[in-house]
Amino acid sequence: MDSRLSQSTQKPFNVVAWWRGSSRYAVSYLLLTLLALVSFAPFLWMVLASFKPLEEVERLNPFPTVWHPENYVKVFKQIPFARYYFNSVFTAAWVTFLQCLTSAMAAYAFARLKWKGRDVVFRLYLATLMIPGVVTMIPNYALMVKLHLLDSYQGLIVPSAFSAFGTFLLRQFMLTLPPSLDEAAAIDGGSPWQIFWDLILPLARPGLITLAIFTFMGNYGSFFWPLVLIKSEHLRTLPIGMLFFDTNYGRQTNLIMAASVMNIIPLIILFVTSQKFLVRGIQLGAVKG
Amino acid sequence: MKGRAQRTELLSALGFLLPNFLGFVIFTAGPVLFSLGVSFSNWNLQQTIPFQWIGFGNFVELFHDPQFWLYFANTGYLMLGMPVAIAGSLFMAILLSQRLRGIVVYRTLFYLPSFTSGVALMILWKALYNPDFGPINAMINGVTHALHLKATAPQWLLATKNLLGLDVEQVRMVSKQFGLGARDALILMGVWIAIGGNNMLLYLAALTNVPQELHEAASLDGAGKWASFRNVTWPQLAPTTFFIVVMSFIGGLQGGFDQARVMTAGGPAGTTTTLSYYIYTKAFEEFQIGYASAISWILFAMIFVMTLVNWKYGSKELNY
């Protein structure tokens, strides 16, 4: 047996050294924990309130005296909450799919193909990133009226299917792939579409996943557009449904909190499963072209 | 031969661009031009008045519209939370950048509010701010009662009071308006949401890129923690800070719509109506499309100036 190894593992535990080592970080841990509490407290209140009977929501006792999980069932009975869920996920999924496809195609043209005027057109794309949504919102609404797409899934999905930001993000990603890849594939007789679909797209997967998460999240929480576009109850998305639940059904704070909890659960699941891509994407998105 | 290869490359590039470009023309470029045109007209969706080109009429009217200036001031007031949120993000990032155990758990908890932000959290904060039944005032009342203080808890979303003492009907300060009210409540919520969000992650990435040798050199020169931060970390973070400030400014100018629609209906007495909410009410409640478009172009002009500042003075390669 290696004597050095056994020596180091049998070193006696030194309380003083341990305390000196960790007390250096004690202040940091204290501050971190305090901030985490402030971040988390409202969520805690929301979850606890969602299990309380109404009269207890207004009292200070933190925990419900009797837990009422049936509050969650009541939400589904009072409003078509499942329908809102479906509408939100359905439209967000379509928007995500279309936006990833159109952005990836455009990004491929900007990052991997050489053509005259490419950089000018790309700069034009970049410039459109600063156009605020409020400017295009009103004409787009008028356009939806003209096309008879008010109050429809198509009206919710199609205008969001194209994105300059997505193009930009994926271009940054595709630029990092070595150019010799396309050249080799082209010599082997691959068409641009084959190179794009079979070679570049699989390699750009981390970028695509990042964009997909951003797009899905953004659309799942989208508020202004469905608010002005949707009139019928069966087409409402979650944020709109929540808004009317809050204004029309008065002060049923416990049920409204139950609905809010159910609203953010998909986001939390998404976050926990995709943290790695997300953090990277946020940092990549801040890089200017 | 070479010319032909170039032409096929251009053709396939056009093919790949086409879907995105069509969408861009139909839903961005077209609408921008349309909106600019409409802002020089009196177009009203209810068509109670005949359509007319009125030149700069909307912009002249806007200039003399006292509500526009009030809502402009509101938009500015709500942006006062920005420096607090940015400083807080930096502070959190510094705490997180230490190599401690369990840091991912803390990062996740800090990030949670910004990740889940939206209508659900606004409805939650509306309940938290409820002056009679909400937990915030229950806590305040508990503390003042225990200390035998004679203080009344703020009315939060129901009050026009604010920390600058801004008056309700004019852009001026009066002492009777001094206190805590709806605008402060929205700022507080905004800071809670933004502080652990994307800006914190940007700072965190920038902090890991500060060369360790610089800190070592500074500590060899006898610099304390604060001096090391001021003379090493802060200058190294300058490009990131600039980027964050510009982006927050651009976001702040357009902000406030969701909160106003979900939590306050722009009230009380219009104190939480921002420019974006004003545009919404003009366009979708009063159907004055021309006037609403004119306001949106004023906003666009301000954002454009901020973007130019960013292009001119921002770091050309803010790389992580």
Query: What CATH code is carried by the domain that includes residue B270?
Result: 1.10.3720.10
Q: Is residue B153 part of a domain?
A: yes
Pick the range with the lowest mean pLDDT from A180-184, B55-59, B235-239, B240-244.
A180-184
Looking at the partner chain, which of A35, A115, A141 has a beta carbon nearest the beta carbon of B110? A35
Confidence of residue B151 (pLDDT cuts 50, 70, 90): confident
pLDDT of A14 reads 66
Q: Which of residues 155-174 of B touch A (CB under 8 A)?
A: none
A120 touches chain B (CB under 8 A): no
B51 touches chain A (CB under 8 A): no
Rounded to 10 deg, the angle between the A253-285 and A15-50 helix axes is 130
Q: Is residue B16 part of a domain?
A: no
ipTM score: 0.89
Q: Which of residues 227-266 of A touch B (CB under 8 A)?
A: 227-228, 238-239, 242-243, 246, 253, 256-257, 259-260, 263-264
Among A212, A95, A247, residue whose Cα is nearest residue B126:
A247
DSSP class per residue in B75-131: HHHHTTHHHHHHHHHHHHHHHHTS--TTHHHHHHHHHHHHHS-SHHHHHHHHHHH-T
What CATH class does A72-285 carry? mainly alpha
Locate the chain B residue with the closest alpha carbon to A276.
Answer: B104
- Residues spanned by CATH 1.10.3720.10 within chain A? 72-285
- Encode pLDDT of B173-206 as tens digits: 888 888 899 999 999 999 999 999 889 989 988 8
Are A54 and A250 contacting, i.e. CB atoms less than 8 angstroms apart?
Answer: no
Distance of CA A16 to the CA centre of its chain: 46
Q: Do A275 and B6 touch (CB under 8 A)?
A: no
Please give the average per-residue pLDDT across B214-235, as a whole number. 83
Q: Do B119 and A263 touch (CB under 8 A)?
A: yes
DSSP class per residue in A195-209: IIIIIIHHHTHHHHH
Looking at the partner chain, which of B13, B111, B316 has a beta carbon nearest the beta carbon of A109? B13
pLDDT for B281 beyond 90: yes
Q: Do A116 and B6 touch (CB under 8 A)?
A: yes
Number of domains in chain B: 1
Q: Which residue ranges of chain A lie beneath pLDDT 50?
A: 1-9, 287-289
More confident site: A213 or B223: A213
Q: Which of residues 20-49 of B touch A (CB under 8 A)?
A: 20-24, 26-32, 34-35, 38
Q: Is residue B84 part of a domain?
A: yes
Please give the average per-residue pLDDT across B55-64, as a whole number. 93
A26 touches chain B (CB under 8 A): no
pLDDT of B48 reads 73
Q: Which of residues 62-101 of B touch A (CB under 8 A)?
A: 92, 95-96, 98, 100
B248 touches chain A (CB under 8 A): no
pLDDT for B287 beyond 70: yes
- Encode pLDDT of A266-277 as tens digits: 999 988 888 877
Domain that holds residue B246: 41-313
